[in-house]
Chains A and B, each alone.
Chain A
Amino acid sequence: MSNTHTHTKYEAIVMGVSAGGLAALTAILPHLSDKIGLPVLIVQHISPDSDDFLATHFNRICSLSVKEAEDKETLVNGTIYFAPANYHLMVEQDKTIALSTAEPVQYSRPAIDVLFETAADAYMDKLIGIILTGSNCDGTNGILRIKQLKGLAIAQSPESSEVDIMPLSAINQAKIDKILDLNEIAPYINLIMVKET
């Protein structure tokens, strides 16, 4: 029987990460509880001719299932989706995935801004956006949109970031709700997402 805790309102998590991403994601994804009950969408900047090694690798070491995002698929709770190399990852209003080969944004394809802005429109205040280590400013516009629609914004603390430019840019320009060290991020998500039973 569940206790009296009100279940969280959040329905999706988006993450953006660039330089230093593999280590950062390794410190987060395997530590996410398999009970978080929402989809996690990730843009990691990678070279255009990469294959799906990120999804394959993390699927092996995570308790949540991890896959490369496919066009038109319906988002499933408890699944982690990676943007494919050389495609933008977007979320439609009906909570399905849309891919695009449109021009790079902030020199990036996939771009964090594209994921964050479309996911914000789809989930509004039920979205959690997380900006991690990186050496450019991609994601800042996306975080601004998430805050405009009253979602929750989290940034990796600059001190715990391998490269602090990306989280700093977001922190300087948007009203970030939580600044967390790398090893605090997964426990925090588990804390607010996992229903006590």
Chain B
Amino acid sequence: MNLNSKKESLQNESLQNEALEIQMLLEAIHQKYGYNFKDYAKAHTKRRLRHRLNISHLNNYAEMMHKVIHDEEYFNTLLLDLSINVTEMFRDPGVYKKIRQDLIPRLKTYSFIKVWHAGCSAGQEVYSMSILLEEEGMKDRSQLYATDFNELILEKAKMGIYPLEVMKTYTGNYQKSGGKKDFSDYYAADYDNVILRQSLKKKVLFSPHNLVTDGVFGEMNLIFCRNVLIYFNRDLQNRVLKLFYDSLCPGGYLCLGSKENLKFTDVEDQFEPIAHREKIYRKKRLP
């Protein structure tokens, strides 16, 4: 073995050892706390854990495993690290515009509709839907369910308080989405934060639900799960998509993130694409 290929195999081995330690750490989290991250996309998990490792002044993931087993506070920190909580009100405004134009007229034919925001994070997109349904006169005939596996972020979602500095973006999104009012009608501002109007929360039920381990959720007319599936591997994606299929009523809609789609998934044939760019699918009715 020449010097170069020896160096290479050492690098290779050290990366493999690191991957093994991460696997053991995730196993420990699963066994101790019941959260299963083993089927998450690996590059994502590794980046988040590496960041935490660096700022925790630990030497390796074996030490991190020891700490997470003995220190529940530290586990809660890791739990936040491993979930991505970056979103906006009316994120991808074109999606909401499409819902207003194409889905709402069809949904209005139902006497009552149920909407599920799976992986709702801090609630921004749930409240966006709440506003949309109110403006379309459907609020009294609808129920929204907002779930996330992370109970800390769910508490934040329930509060509906956001930093004032993001309101400019949210307002712009709202306007582009075909919003009909002055966006400031929907919140009250203090110096640094805004609190959303209480009435927007009336039809929303927040509850913990883990897509990895929990089961079917009602007979939904519309499921939002945007920018969650990209963090899962193919197997887990297929399991979760099956869960969505089983949770939708016939003809129900599934709305994914702008870079997610059903191509090459197990349920590809069971949905028809309604809006290609907006990634909205409809569950096929049985023939």
Contact = CB atoms under 8 A, between A and B. Distances in A.
Interface of A: 70-72, 84, 87, 90-93, 98-103, 114, 117-118, 121-122, 124-125, 149-150
A28 B202 CA distance: 56
Given A70-B259, A71-B230, A72-B234, A124 B43 contact: no
B55 interface: no
Interface of B: 7-8, 11-12, 15, 19, 41-44, 46-48, 84, 86-87, 227, 230-231, 234, 257, 259-260, 264
B47 A118 contact: yes
Contact of A125 (B8, B48, B227): B8
A53 B265 CA distance: 27
A52 B221 CA distance: 31
Contacts of A84: 259
Contacts of A125: 7-8, 11
Nearest to A126: B8
Contacts, number: 59
Given A90-B47, A102-B44, 19 more contacts: A71-B259, A72-B234, A87-B259, A90-B43, A90-B44, A92-B42, A93-B19, A93-B43, A99-B230, A100-B84, A100-B231, A101-B84, A101-B87, A103-B86, A121-B15, A121-B43, A122-B43, A124-B15, A125-B7
B224 to A, nearest CB: 14
Contacts of A87: 259
Closest 6 CB pairs of A and B: A90-B43, A101-B227, A98-B43, A118-B43, A98-B41, A71-B230
B7 A150 contact: yes
A93 B260 CA distance: 21
A121 B87 CA distance: 28
A150 B47 contact: no
Contacts of A98: 41, 43-44, 230
B12 to A, nearest CB: 7
Contacts of A92: 41-43
27 contacts: A70-B259, A71-B230, A84-B259, A90-B43, A90-B47, A92-B41, A92-B42, A92-B43, A93-B42, A93-B43, A99-B259, A100-B44, A100-B84, A101-B84, A101-B87, A101-B230, A101-B257, A102-B44, A102-B47, A114-B47, A117-B47, A121-B43, A121-B46, A124-B12, A125-B7, A125-B11, A150-B7
Contacts of A70: 259
A102 B257 CA distance: 14
Contact of A149 (B11, B42, B257): B11
Contact of B11 (A72, A114, A118, A124): A124
A150 B230 CA distance: 30
B168 to A, nearest CB: 13
A90 B230 CA distance: 11
A114 B47 CA distance: 9
Contact of B84 (A102, A114, A121): A102
B238 to A, nearest CB: 12
Contacts of B47: 90, 102, 114, 117-118
